[in-house]
Amino acid sequence: METGVLNEESLSSIFRAAAQRRRNGVLEITYPDRVFNIYFNKGKVVEAYQAGVNAVDSIVVLLKAAGYLPQGFTTTALGYNELFLACADLPPLKGIITEVLFRRVVKHRVLNELYSLELQGGAYYTFRMQMVESDKDFSPSISTGQILLDFVSLATDRERFVTMFGPDTLVFKGQFGEGLSEEETVIFEELSPFQEGSEAKGRRVAELHRFTMLSRFSLQDTLLGMYERGAIATHDGVVALSPVSAEMGSVQEDASNSEVLEGAAVSKVSRLSLITQLPKVIAHTLSDANQALLKSEFVPTFFSMILLLAAFVLPVFFWFDTLVAF
């Protein structure tokens, strides 16, 4: 049995040792007001929850909040597998609760529990070696190394995330919705395209967290990545496209009424295409002009006048030169 004070360094040491030695056991973290348990199976995290809190009940709360279960739903299920079978027997509300969806909800609930750990002192830990049973169908198997990296990313990207996605920021579908990851697809399917006057259809971050049931880190990291690639756009009272969307097009504003003109965005690809084709366009235009000019009756008349004038003027010049010579 190992004991000590919980902080960032000790948690990292515990997680690395569990992974390297493929440990089975329970990490019990004692705070002044609560006890938290993390379960390891062969060095990976398979469960985490606060003592006295039923993990099955937590999944029911999440599914109700997301609209997948009716508010009056109750269950006596003792494990994830039993709960899934009970949910599968219900008529679908928002959608069918598939194994993929249920497994994702369980995994991200565990991740959220881990991200809620307070590592600034005031807690003690005890690691007990013991056999840990887990649901073979729905319990996650989360790498401890990935969890430690998530902790770092949560802290380093938090300020940027809060700046870009404020509490009132609305999120919409962007211009690019292909090649999305599983988490990105989950978010993308919850969004609607932006249209003038469609602000009511936008999703706030709190709503996306509730409806997608993704963990704090996954939501933060995924939204930042989608924003940078143009898969989502934001709206804060003024249209604010993602960097990629802004580079690919510009929104023009009418100076007289400051009304955003839809359809005024010109893609960068189109601009580059126009530049490369410009010489051909000019040549083609000049060619058409020449053809039209040659077909005009004005051309032969103009040249005839020039020849007639030359017939009178040139002899005069020769005659003047002859007089000067004498």
- What tens-digit pLDDT sequence spans the chain (326 residues)? 899 999 999 999 999 999 999 999 999 999 999 999 999 999 999 999 999 999 999 999 999 999 999 999 999 999 999 999 999 888 888 888 999 999 999 999 999 999 999 988 789 999 999 999 889 999 999 999 999 999 999 999 999 999 999 988 999 998 888 889 999 999 999 999 887 765 668 899 999 999 999 999 999 999 999 999 999 999 874 444 444 444 444 333 333 333 332 333 323 333 333 333 334 434 444 444 444 444 444 444 554 566 666 666 565 555 545 544 44
Q: How far is residue 38 CA from its own chain's centroid?
A: 30
Q: How far is residue 28 CA from its own chain's centroid?
A: 35
Where do the domains of the chain lie? 2-156, 158-248, 269-325
Q: Give the separation between CA 271 and CA 117, rounded to whole angstroms.
A: 50
Instruction: Give the pLDDT of residue 150.
Output: 94
Fold of 158-248: Arc Repressor Mutant, subunit A (1.10.10)
The residues, ordered by sequence, that sit 6+ positions from 25 with a Cβ below 8 Å of its Cβ are: 18, 39, 40, 127, 128, 129, 130, 132
Instruction: Give the pLDDT of residue 147.
Output: 95
Instruction: Give the pLDDT of residue 176.
Output: 81
Instruction: Give the pLDDT of residue 236.
Output: 75
List residues bridging with 173 in a β-sheet: 193, 232
